[in-house]
Chains A and B, each alone.
Chain A
Amino acid sequence: METSEITPKLTKIFKIVFNNNSLQLTNELTANDIEGWDSLSHMLLISEIESSFSIKFKLKDLNKMKNVGDMIELIKSKF
């Protein structure tokens, strides 16, 4: 999968999980930048991404995701 395919799908997931239709994703975006993105909602996000892209993350992967850019790279690597 290409980044251009991943980004819109990811954006849709973010919009649903964080209840915010005006969200725009950038590579540098982190949890600090989005309201409601904390350790409680993070796992919900991860779970949604897994089911949406039909992939499975490893626990080790979580630590590698410092921002949205990392996230996209990680999703890419699963294909």
Chain B
Amino acid sequence: MAFTSLNFLIFFPLTALFYWLTPVKYRWATLLFASYFFYLNTKPVFALLLAGVTLTTYILTRIIDQTKLESKKRSILVLTVVSILLPLLFFKYFTVINNGILDLLEFYHLRWPLPEIKFLLPVGISFYTFMAIGYTLDVYNEEIEAEKNIGLLGLFISFFPLILSGPIERAKNMIPQFKAQKGVDYGMITQGLKLILWGYFMKLVVADRLGIYVDAVYNNISQHNGISLLLASIYYPFQIYADLGGYSLIAIGTAKILGFDVMQNFKRPFFATSMAEFWRRWHISLISWLTDYVYTPLSFYFRKYKIWGIVTALMITFLISGIWHGAALTFIIWGLMQGIFLSIEALTNKRKTLFEKKYNLSNKGWYILLGIILTFVLFTASQVFGRAANLKEAFQVYTRIFTDTHHLPYKDGQTMLYSAIGLAIIFITEFRDEFFPRRFLLFENKKLFIRWLSYYTVIFLILYLGVFGNEKFIYFQY
């Protein structure tokens, strides 16, 4: 069930209630039960897969823990990681690989009727797979001991606030929290509610609203002119930020109400002044996972190649990131672009720092603004590949932005107005947090009246400007 469904709004309070009514020692069991119930409500049969991955991880990591011989340990590690990855690779990439093989066979005039099976992707598999692999690697690296209680491990992998869209958490952070027998924390409940409120605002008022325009244009590229394509491409990064960012806040807030601290997933990414900084602020849980488990080992093994070792590690890491996002060529290009941006920044870093020191630029407002704009342009340019259905369309978007002046720019007054209002509110709030933290507080104001007024304002903004249900105002069907 999605966080924005009415079902969830019934499920969660009930779960929280049962959770607090359960004696402290067994609360983790209530959560495990609730998480599987939650997951069964998406697609029952995939819960078996989830349980299977959990069982495999449990058994193999306990063996790793007991094994002393280094080489044997490593072999079991590889076995574990491969077993956990297999379902993900299969479900996500089978169709692509299958089609690829079919195309190859056709090219050589061989026609073997390979089965064409249509798969539904198990919900959350990209996320829980990574959480399980992270746990395995942590056990191997002796960061944590293999968990003896399979229920606790199962809870970590299936924890319902996180399973659908993250943040991708670490066992080191979550399992001790599941074990700690805390009482009800009212401060955290309030904090959690505030996060959820703001998350709903971002998702329903900004993300889904922008999505109306972006979908209308990107789902029919040939019908729209250059200006519309440009506008939709500019909207898109904001849409995914509000979407994933909002969803993450709801997830974090939900966990907080239950008394758990989950890592922040976004930190005002559009205020970054370089791509390197951008990736420290965007989808933080994914990037830190990739950094710790892919980039660091890779850059370590390539360290004798100095800066070129780093470049290689970056390219591979972001290639993997691209593939993780989707089984398509466009995502690979997207990943490679990120790798290229960061590599260029790494290669020119020394010169840049010297330049900045020489002219004392790092505190100048216009220089910071320049960095912000440049970073935004680079990210937006790469996101065209993230949104377009295929390579051909992505290149179409690029060319037509500059050449197409036929047709009229697509205008949708209400959508654009409401989006602008939502974006402005987010921008002002984040501007305050970035440059004037702890001042002009609303949700955190000392006065109760101001806090409550702010909550109600946001509630009414959501109800007035929000997009509910599958509201696609535009309906193309050819």
Contact = CB atoms under 8 A, between A and B. Distances in A.
Complex: A in contact with B (CB within 8 Å): yes
B141 A44 contact: no
A44 B304 CA distance: 9
Given A43-B299, A43-B303, A46-B300, A60 B141 contact: yes
B142 A60 contact: yes
Nearest to B313: A43
A62 B295 CA distance: 13
B350 interface: yes
Contact of A63 (B143, B304, B346): B143
A32 B300 CA distance: 20
B310 A62 contact: no
A8 interface: no
B349 interface: yes
A46 B296 CA distance: 12
A59 interface: yes
Interface residues of A, number: 16
A47 B296 contact: no
Interface string B347-389: 0011001100000000000000000000000000000000000
A59 B309 CA distance: 15
A33 B301 CA distance: 26
Interface in A31-63: 36, 38-41, 43-44, 46-47, 50, 57, 59-60, 62-63
A40 B349 contact: yes
Nearest to B350: A19
Nearest to A61: B300
Contacts of B304: 47
B463 interface: no
A41 B304 CA distance: 13
B191 interface: no
B446 interface: no
B300 A44 contact: no
Nearest to A38: B276
B353 A40 contact: no
A40 B310 contact: yes
B297 interface: yes
B310 A43 contact: yes
A43 B300 CA distance: 6
B97 interface: no
B300 A19 contact: no
A59 B276 CA distance: 23
Contacts of B143: 63
Contacts of B291: 39
Contacts of B303: 43-44, 46-47, 50
A44 B295 contact: no
A63 to B, nearest CB: 6
A60 B141 CA distance: 6
Given A59-B300, A60-B141, A44 B276 contact: no
Interface string B239-279: 00000000000000000000000000000000000001000
A40 to B, nearest CB: 5
Contacts of A62: 296, 300
A36 B314 CA distance: 17
Interface string B113-154: 000000000000000000000000000011100000000000
Contacts of B297: 59
A19 B304 CA distance: 20
B82 interface: no
A79 to B, nearest CB: 21
Nearest to B309: A43
B421 interface: no
Interface of B: 141-143, 276, 280, 291, 295-297, 299-301, 303-304, 306-307, 309-310, 313-314, 342, 346, 349-350, 353-354
15 contacts: A36-B353, A39-B295, A39-B296, A40-B276, A41-B349, A43-B310, A44-B303, A44-B307, A44-B310, A47-B304, A47-B306, A57-B300, A59-B297, A60-B141, A60-B142
Given A36-B353, A59-B141, 7 more contacts: A39-B295, A43-B296, A44-B303, A44-B307, A47-B306, A57-B300, A62-B296
- The 6 lowest CB-CB distance pairs between A and B, nearest first, are A43-B299, A47-B303, A43-B303, A40-B346, A59-B300, A39-B291
